[in-house]
Structure 1
Amino acid sequence: MSIKSEREAFNWKAFLLMTGLGSLLAASVYGLSNHFSPEKSKDVIWYWNSLYWILLYPSLISSLMINNFRQSKLTITEFNNITDFNTKLLARIEKFKVTTQTLTESSLVFYPTSKFKKVFSYWFNAERMEMKIEEGKIVLIGPVYRISQVEDTLTWNKDFKK
């Protein structure tokens, strides 16, 4: 069995957009709170604090969000010598508490069943996992942590050995 894993590149456009929107929101909240508060002396700490809340904090949050919503692609080939490979793989994926939706004979889509993960699946389509069965290979596309779990299972589980 041969396994190849690929990660999606960092999306700089989405990062800059999220950072810009977050900075705009933080600057407006910070400006309104300073406008309606009593006049304080603005020393060096105040300027560093405003720099943090307006620029650094939104960029940190958007970086974490963009990294967590990246997709990964796992290509599995040369699995014909393992008996019932497809059913074992489907059983392993269904342990992730997902529902299966069949698009075509060779394409399956898995959606989460937990309410918390459904929210992210509805908003960003981030928790959706897709399985394409082609001639001699299986391609899984989904969240990085789920694809990593499947890859670890295929690498170390005894059921997926010869």
Structure 2
Amino acid sequence: MMPPPFTVIGTPFSTFTRTYKGITFSQVRVVPYSDTAYEHQPFGFLPTLVIHELNGQKVDLKLRESQQMWEFVSFIGAYGFPALEKGVVKPCVAATNQGTLSDAKICCTIAPTIAQHHAFLNKIEMHMFPEGYIFGKKLSWADFFSTHFWWI
């Protein structure tokens, strides 16, 4: 007998987990923020639907709440970008335009903000996949948005 083409990673009593009614699936019963939840979703949220095969090819594609992508992008836009713009970009541009500070002095001035930015990026990167993508083994819109932010 063939295994079901889908697996749902989730808590059986969850309304969100039960939304897959009508398709044949196996279920991995887990609670949010467990090791298994993190294995299938970078922030440990549930549920995740794993599609094992597409067009006859094994893929193990993981579908997660699309809202998580928006939360990630919103997090970058709300916290990362403003800190970088106000604490690094604008002070550097202003000092360069005024010509009053040397490059070394500018670096000293923005050093605390750079340290905060590194800490922010380290937190973000802890939730990324080993391949360097935010939500899996392939690029998503969130990756492009974040890359734009990181290289400003």
TM-score range, shorter chain: under 0.3
Q: Which has the higher contact order (CA 8 A, sep 6+)?
A: 1
Q: TM-score, normalised by structure 2?
A: 0.26
Q: TM-score, normalised by structure 1?
A: 0.24
Higher strand share: 1
